[in-house]
Structure formats: structure tokens, C-alpha cells
Amino acid sequence: MSKRDKPQDSELVVAARALDSELLRFEALAEQLQKAPLESEKHLERASAMLNGLADLDEQLRLQVTALVGAISKVRDRQQAQAEIVHQRAQELQQRTEIFKSLLVRYGALGQSAGELNVRMQQFAQQRQTAQTPEENAALAETFESLQVKMTEVADEAQGLARAGEEQSFHDVARQADSLRQQLLAARNKLALLQKRFSEGAG
């Protein structure tokens, strides 16, 4: 990085450097005064001049300290403003995490319902193939209606979850819920087709 590209020092760094420079000058002059001989008129005049110089430097130090305190106050204000932004973001993160968890709980429940429906569908298909008596067929007809109702309910729940996911901008959850809904509707249609074929064959 060239000197031209070098970033400028902050107000805090400039103030601290200026104070440090004045302090070094003050300490050096104070040390000279401490060691200066006081044995002649010339010595006394020189020491008096040093004392006056130290008084001027002391005033400069006071001004530099004031400038540094002001710079520190600005830094503190900046830090507090950023801390407030971080705090607000942390609260937003917590809220979003809770929303996401609730959506996942709903999706997990849907997945469990879909799994249970899949088992019931397989059982229905097996029983459909072996049913022979009117009583068995009547029982399967009731099972079919129950399955259709339950699959519609779960598909509607999946649709609601997909909508909630989109509203909360959790699009992955929305897509997964919609995919589950489509699978349920396809399975429901397949089940209806199976029942229709049996009814037509029986007729």
C-alpha cells in the first residue's frame, strides 16, 4: 500500500499521539529543570525560563487531554450505537430462530402423519387384493373414505405450512411442505383410482 493509499488516522489516534508528544516534551523540560544548577544569576534566569516554558506546556497538555477525552467520548458513543444495533439484531435472530423451530415442528408432525398414512395405504392395498366377502368390501369402503379424508386434511396442513414458510421467508421449508402436499395428493389420487378399478371390476 502506497502512502497515498494509506488510510488517515482516526481522531482518537491523532489526539493520543499529540498528547503523548506534549507529555514527552514536558517530561524532558521538567528533567532539565530538576538538574539545572541554581548557583548564579544566569542559572536562575535560565531556570525561570524553563519554569515558564513548563507552565506553557502544562496548558498545552491540559488542552490535549481535553481533546483526547472528547475523542474517547465520541468513540464511546460510536461503540454504544453499534452495541444497540448488535442487540437488536440478536433479538431478531432469536425471534427468527423460534419461528423456524416452530415451522420445523409442524413439518415434523406432517412427516409423521404422512408416514402413518403411507403404512395405512399399503395395508389397504393388500387388503383390497384379498377381500372377497361383501362384509370385507364394505369395511374397506369405509377405510377408503377415512383415508381420503385424512389425506386431504394432511395435504391442507402441508399447504398451510407452505404458506406460513413463504410468509416468514423460510422458502426451503415452504418448498418441502409443498412437495409433501403434492406427494399426498398424488397418493390420494392413486388410492382413488385403485378403489374405482375395484368397484368397476366388482360391478
167-178 pLDDT, tens digit per residue, is 999 999 999 999
Q: Which residue has the cell 465520541?
A: 74
Give the pLDDT mean for 9-37.
Answer: 90
- pLDDT band, very low/low/confident/very high, at 1 (cuts 50, 70, 90): very low
pLDDT above 60: residue 154: yes
pLDDT above 80: residue 2: no
pLDDT above 70: residue 19: yes
Give the pLDDT mean for 56-76.
Answer: 92
Cα separation, 189 vs 181, in Å, equals: 12
Cα separation, 193 vs 195, in Å, equals: 5
| Interval 40-53: pLDDT, tens | 999 999 999 999 99
143 sits in the region (left: phi over 0; alpha: psi -120 to 50; else beta) called alpha
pLDDT above 90: residue 8: no
